[in-house]
Structure 1
Amino acid sequence: MTVDSKLIEMSRRYGSDPDMVLAGGGNTSYKTKEYLTVKASGYPLSTIDDSGFVMLDRGRLKLMWHKTYADEENERETQVLTDLMASRRFGEVNRPSVESQLHDLFPYQYVLHVHPAKVNGLTCSIEGENWTNSRLAQQAVWVEATKPGYILAMTCQKISQEHQKTTGQFPKIMILENHGIFFSADTVDEIDQLVALVFDTIQEDLHTAPDFTKEPFDEPLVNQAHQILDKVFPENAIFFDRFHSLVELVADERSVQPIMKPFTPDHIVYCRHEPLFCTSQTLQATLEAYREKNAVLPRIILIQHLGMFSAAETAASAKVARDLFLDQIKIAYYARSFGGIKPMKSEHIEFIRNWEVEHYRAKMESKS
């Protein structure tokens, strides 16, 4: 399969920009009348080539919009995945992005889907919807938080059709609460213009940002924490951070609350569903209690007055967890410009924690 060169160029350009994409987040696509070429699950956009895409039969995808699936979540998601896999063109072996239906929904040729912190400062805020309807009403639609996959696709279809009836045009921008943003157009140049429009408009109203200025730390306390973490994590897979805004956040139980719940599915996949917050004195006991409660160790350990440890089974996984939690902190500060934070709902957190699709994505990306 030879993939459209402009699709690959767009994918790599946005995928290589850490302000746009972190880890394996985001996806892209290009469509013709018959086929949708979409990023396969588990492939990073930054280095993607022909082998990282999968071609789907749009006729088969269309049938999925009119099919009735089971009400029970696990059964429904299994049925949807089966149909999605069956939509692959003969000979294709990659697993399509779970958001392939959403890509196919847009009537425009190119689609870019990303999860930038500045956009998610909006999507994870109390006033995000009102701001979108006020500042981008003609170009964009707001999609209230819902479970990803099939349910999200059906929700977006309904909202887009309503927008089209009102404005006469299918939306080119979808802003998804606690998730990210979709851009779609018939050319990559127009997608670039839409991205610039959204970021410039957000920037006009963005008045809060984290301060990443490094601060001195108590070396004996950091070494003490390291010794405890070294017993359960590889030595090279533990990272420590201490900077101005982080010190503010880990001052006490109240100040740390804005970053204790995930904002988007990516934060759950890479950082777990919650960090561990403790004191230097209680680290050992709370680490064991976390494992007892969750059957896994935390990826992010916040120590009161000290700072943040990122840890995992490998150095690569620990680094990704660190990057995503720094993203979480950015969102918490950006959201202050839009009425304050709005983390994911508990039911959506639990859905992601148990969703086979995200387990598969995490497994594929850990291999790469």
Structure 2
Amino acid sequence: MEQGINDLIEISQYYGKQKDFVIAGGGNTSYKTEKHLWIKASGFSLATIDEAGFAKLDRSLLAEVNTKTYSENVLQREDEIKNDLLKSRVEPEKGQRPSVETSLHNLIDFAFVVHTHSTKVNGLMCSNQAAEKTAELFGDQVLYIAYDDPGYILFKVVEKAVLKYRAEKGKEPAVIFLQNHGVFVGANTITEVKAIYDELIAKLDAVYGEEPENEKLPVDKVADKIVPAIRMMVSGEGLKTVRLVNHTLLDNYLQSDNFPAVSAPFTPDGIVYANSSFIYMEYNDNEEEFLQAVSKEIEDYQQQKGKLPKVIFANGLGVLVIADHAEGAEILVDVVTDHCRIAQFAESFGGQHPMTQKQVEFIESWEVEQYRSKISLGA
């Protein structure tokens, strides 16, 4: 195994094991030479990835995506691009599916590219002052890209910005911030990648100050009856895992006045893992009444969305997560906690800026994210 691949595995696991940067299968990393690009394949976790988790691609074939004419129909176009990415695989027999962000990795002219959905970065990227505060904190040494639909459209927007940056500054942008998404960091060594990330987080920490300690809160004993009852409600097509959790951060957003701040998704990954909306309810010490209301809310959700809810904010109890198994439930707890931390950090930059309904609808209808959603929690 060449040193570049060893370094790619090292830097991938380094950030993949830190929930401040990556949760479950989120984020992606790459390493490139003149001829080939190795990039994380969909369905692999950066925390545990090894050489088998990276798809090896032919860069000459990837370059054709830049100039090829695709369908004007959005979903058809993305399907055509997906197929072209699959055709670029050097080892198609492995059945790997390259990351949807492959073209962005190929564009950025550094050997290593590490893309994460850093919680602290997204506190800025998912805020009302994302553009102006990025310029204030980081100047013109970084690129800021306003939100656009992931896939080909976003790639072309970033490509245009990168080409302009190269022409004006005579160098490659090492940091590309994406609104309501995350950050790309590029460098020619993994030591440089770490140094850049450290600098970004240090500047953000100087604004955020010390993060309030998040303390676990006791769960009402009535949970022993409510959790099994809800598990029965949602297990019609296979046994589900239902877990009730609470801590001081969640408890803040369980309050009816504060819930609107976290009621809409901040990033595409949030939709992939936890759906595009949560159920919100009040528990008023009446178990039977609460369960009847939950049953009605779940039924309405299924009729509207065509699927089960994954997250229920129950003021007076805690947050209920619904998954196919215990591991999936644990991931959902991490995702919801991350979502609330982003909301909390965004207060330092003028408040929260969630995705629009139109942006949400694109993610929900996009085959790529449907595929990611299917495999995200081990389904």
**Shared fold, TM over 0.5:** yes
Q: Give the Cα–Cα distance (whole angstroms) in 1 for the partners of residues 192 and 152 of structure 2.
A: 28
Name the SS of the counterpart of 2:232 in structure 1: coil
- Per the TM alignment, residue 70 of structure 1 is displaced from its structure 2 partner at its CA by 1.1
Q: Give the Cα–Cα distance (whole angstroms) in 2 for the partners of residues 107 and 61 of structure 1.
A: 14
Alignment partner, residue 115 of structure 1: 117
Alignment partner, residue 106 of structure 1: 108
TM-score, normalization by structure 2: 0.91
Q: Give the Cα–Cα distance (whole angstroms) in 1 for the partners of residues 312 and 102 of structure 2.
A: 35
> In 2, are the aligned partners of 1:247 and 1:306 still within 8 Å (CA)?
no
Alignment partner, residue 371 of structure 2: 360
Confirm whether residue 316 of structure 1 aligns to residue 318 of structure 2. no
Select which of 174, 177, 181 maps to 1:175.
Answer: 177
The one-character-per-residue Cα deviations of 1:176-221 (angstroms, maximum 9, x if unpaired) are 111111000111111111101100011111147455222344322x
Moved more, 187-196 or 357-366: 357-366
> In 1, are the aligned partners of 2:272 and 2:376 still within 8 Å (CA)?
no
Alignment partner, residue 51 of structure 1: 52
1:20-35 matches, within 5 Å, as 20-35=21-36
Confirm whether residue 125 of structure 1 aligns to residue 136 of structure 2. no
1:1-368 matches, within 5 Å, as 4-91=5-92, 93=94, 94-207=96-209, 209=211, 211-220=213-222, 222-233=223-234, 237-252=241-256, 254-280=257-283, 281=290, 282-367=293-378
- Per the TM alignment, residue 267 of structure 1 is displaced from its structure 2 partner at its CA by 0.9
The one-character-per-residue Cα deviations of 1:333-357 (angstroms, maximum 9, x if unpaired) are 0000111100112111111112111
Q: Give the Cα–Cα distance (whole angstroms) in 2 for the partners of residues 218 and 315 of structure 1.
A: 21
- Per the TM alignment, residue 365 of structure 1 is displaced from its structure 2 partner at its CA by 4.0
> In 2, are the aligned partners of 1:237 and 1:316 still within 8 Å (CA)?
no
* CA-atom RMSD in angstroms: 1.9
Unaligned stretches of 5+ in structure 2?
284-289
Q: Give the Cα–Cα distance (whole angstroms) in 1 for the partners of residues 374 and 367 of structure 2.
A: 10
- Per the TM alignment, residue 232 of structure 1 is displaced from its structure 2 partner at its CA by 2.7
> In 1, are the aligned partners of 2:240 and 2:323 still within 8 Å (CA)?
no
Name the SS of the counterpart of 1:47 in structure 2: coil
- Per the TM alignment, residue 64 of structure 1 is displaced from its structure 2 partner at its CA by 1.1
> In 1, are the aligned partners of 2:263 and 2:278 still within 8 Å (CA)?
yes
The one-character-per-residue Cα deviations of 1:256-285 (angstroms, maximum 9, x if unpaired) are 101110111111111111111012332222
The one-character-per-residue Cα deviations of 1:307-343 (angstroms, maximum 9, x if unpaired) are 1111112222222111101100000000001111001
- Per the TM alignment, residue 125 of structure 1 is displaced from its structure 2 partner at its CA by 0.4
The one-character-per-residue Cα deviations of 1:93-126 (angstroms, maximum 9, x if unpaired) are 3111111100000111110001111111011001
> In 1, are the aligned partners of 2:233 and 2:295 still within 8 Å (CA)?
no
Amino acid at match of 1:68: T
Percent of aligned pairs with the same amino acid: 34
Amino acid at match of 1:53: F
- Per the TM alignment, residue 225 of structure 1 is displaced from its structure 2 partner at its CA by 2.7
Q: Give the Cα–Cα distance (whole angstroms) in 2 for the partners of residues 215 and 97 of structure 1.
A: 38
Q: Give the Cα–Cα distance (whole angstroms) in 1 for the partners of residues 130 and 86 of structure 2.
A: 35
Q: Give the Cα–Cα distance (whole angstroms) in 2 for the partners of residues 364 and 269 of structure 1.
A: 10
Amino acid at match of 2:327: A
- Per the TM alignment, residue 163 of structure 1 is displaced from its structure 2 partner at its CA by 2.1
> In 2, are the aligned partners of 1:113 and 1:182 still within 8 Å (CA)?
yes
Amino acid at match of 2:220: D
- Per the TM alignment, residue 224 of structure 1 is displaced from its structure 2 partner at its CA by 4.3
- Per the TM alignment, residue 291 of structure 1 is displaced from its structure 2 partner at its CA by 1.7
The structure-2 alpha-carbon separation of the partners of 1:227 and 1:51, relative to structure 1 and needing over 3 Å to count, comes to closer
Name the SS of the counterpart of 1:184 in structure 2: strand
Paired residues, number: 366
Amino acid at match of 2:203: T
Name the SS of the counterpart of 1:323 in structure 2: helix
Unaligned stretches of 5+ in structure 1?
none
Amino acid at match of 2:200: V
Q: Give the Cα–Cα distance (whole angstroms) in 2 for the partners of residues 215 and 229 of structure 1.
A: 21
Q: Give the Cα–Cα distance (whole angstroms) in 1 for the partners of residues 240 and 81 of structure 2.
A: 40
Q: Give the Cα–Cα distance (whole angstroms) in 2 for the partners of residues 92 and 149 of structure 1.
A: 24
The one-character-per-residue Cα deviations of 1:209-263 (angstroms, maximum 9, x if unpaired) are 455222344322x3443243121346872221222232222222x3210111011
